[in-house]
Chains A and B, each alone.
Chain A
Amino acid sequence: MTLRRRAGDLEAEVLAALWSAGRPLTPGEVRDRLDHPPAYTTVTTVLVRLTDKGIVTRARPGRAYVYAPALDRAELAAARMTELLGSHRDRAEVLARFAGSLSPADAAVLSSLLPRGSHLPRSSRRPRGKARPA
């Protein structure tokens, strides 16, 4: 079984851990949320690197540093994506989605059958809320 991480994969996983938590985490808490956790110092290094890039913010409410995703950059990125997808219909076509793309006819059938507010990719954009427990 190959469990080797490629360069950048750990950064991605650490970010995923921070985002899914919905609250600032200490390096130890981040480590606990990872699959096949690396060394504590490795996690700290990754967090410091992400902080230097401005993707993650650091605070020290108590004894230990806690890290949280920098929301302003994420929101800028979200705005850029909305701009991309909103401008032309065919731009959404070139994105390779995990579950494949819905044909416009399928999407239309689906949205007519679903109650308002159900999960349907890109059919309705809810106001962005802070993370709430799933």
Chain B
Amino acid sequence: MIAASTLAFVFAALFGLLAPPVARRVRPSAAVWLLTVGGVVAGLCMVCVLGLLALPLVGTSVEFAEAGHWSVHNFEQRDPTNNGLAWLSFAVLLVTLGRIGIVAWRHGRALRATGRASRDLHRLVGGLVILPEDEPDAYALPGRRGCVVVTSGLLRRLDPAGWRLVLAHEIAHVHRRHHRHLFAVRLSMTANVLLARLGPAQEFCVERWADESAAAVVGRRVAARAFGKAADLLGGTAERPAGALAVASCALDTRAAALSRPPLGLRPALLLAAVGCAVGAFTATAVALNDAGALFARVHPATSHAERP
């Protein structure tokens, strides 16, 4: 059980390390799905492993043993984990579950609020909301029928190719339900700190996916030309002091560069390497869970007697 748990932990950590660089090198739509599904699997595995490592607390507790009809003595003999590790895992598990709960609750509340707003806006003005404001801004409002929100200040500063690019980009966010992918990765990041690098990678890949969808609508060459102007307005690069937003501006530069190159392929070998880590973590967790089940079956007094030579 310990070996399988350790293996699951290593595979999940390896996914957290390997998936972000892979995601930046493959087609954005595939990258987003890789990070979402792989992230959720790796996050679940981490939570399961913590639970398994904390099992001796249950196994050696007299109350649980009476209820489940096993012998504490037998359990102590057969279970190789030590109590300190079990208590530590239990504490980490509690904190992790608490944090997941808080993140899910806050995010869910925010999504419900934006869902209500987008329903109201659909009734008022339809799926495209143009705000009479001078600040250039554009975003997608998630919801069952999401909205695209842009300010008139942005439209005034862009040419028609720019409008089409920005609108197609935000429409892609709404149609592809990108907020769900971001939410899933956010939860898996909360499940384990070793998956923390998935979050920034997912934000980048979701934007790249929307960029690629927009490029398919307006044409790649037009998109590459229009992107610089739109990024300037929306990223605020003109007033940006040197170094203050290095990460954000770097992402915009990378996205602009990606649009000026031919689209990225699927790269099955790279994808398989990352998927393999997630599958490995899943398999090892399944084995560990099976071992734990077998352990509890064996510490049953009746079975123990029967096993004795």
Contacts and interface: CB of A to CB of B under 8 A. Distances in A.
Interface of A: 1-6, 8-9, 11-13, 15-17, 19-20, 22, 33-35, 53, 55, 69, 71, 73-78, 80-81, 83-84, 87-88, 90-91, 93-102, 106, 109-110, 113-114, 118-122, 125-126, 128-129, 131, 133-134
B127 A8 contact: yes
B236 interface: yes
Contacts of A100: 203, 207, 248, 251-252
A3 B219 contact: yes
B239 A120 contact: yes
B120 to A, nearest CB: 5
A17 B106 CA distance: 38
Interface stretch (B2-10, B156-164, B297-305): B156-164
Interface string B221-258: 10000000011001110111100110010011000000
Contacts of B182: 94, 96
A94 B126 CA distance: 20
Contact of A80 (B121, B183, B216): B121
Given A20-B152, A80-B124, A100-B207, A110 B245 contact: yes
A88 B138 CA distance: 19
Interface residues of B, number: 76
24 contacts: A9-B168, A9-B171, A16-B160, A22-B156, A55-B126, A74-B125, A74-B130, A78-B131, A83-B117, A88-B113, A90-B110, A94-B110, A96-B140, A96-B178, A97-B139, A98-B169, A98-B207, A99-B252, A102-B248, A110-B241, A119-B236, A119-B238, A121-B137, A122-B137
Nearest to B155: A20
Contact of A77 (B121, B135, B156, B219): B121
B95 interface: no
A22 B163 CA distance: 16
Q: Across chains A and B, which 6 residue pairs bring their CB atoms closest together, nearest first?
A: A35-B160, A99-B235, A20-B155, A1-B219, A99-B234, A95-B139
Contacts of A19: 130, 152, 155-156
Nearest to B211: A98
Nearest to A33: B160
Given A6-B217, A96-B206, A98-B170, 15 more contacts: A9-B168, A16-B167, A20-B155, A55-B125, A73-B125, A78-B131, A81-B117, A90-B110, A94-B183, A95-B142, A96-B170, A118-B239, A120-B239, A126-B133, A126-B134
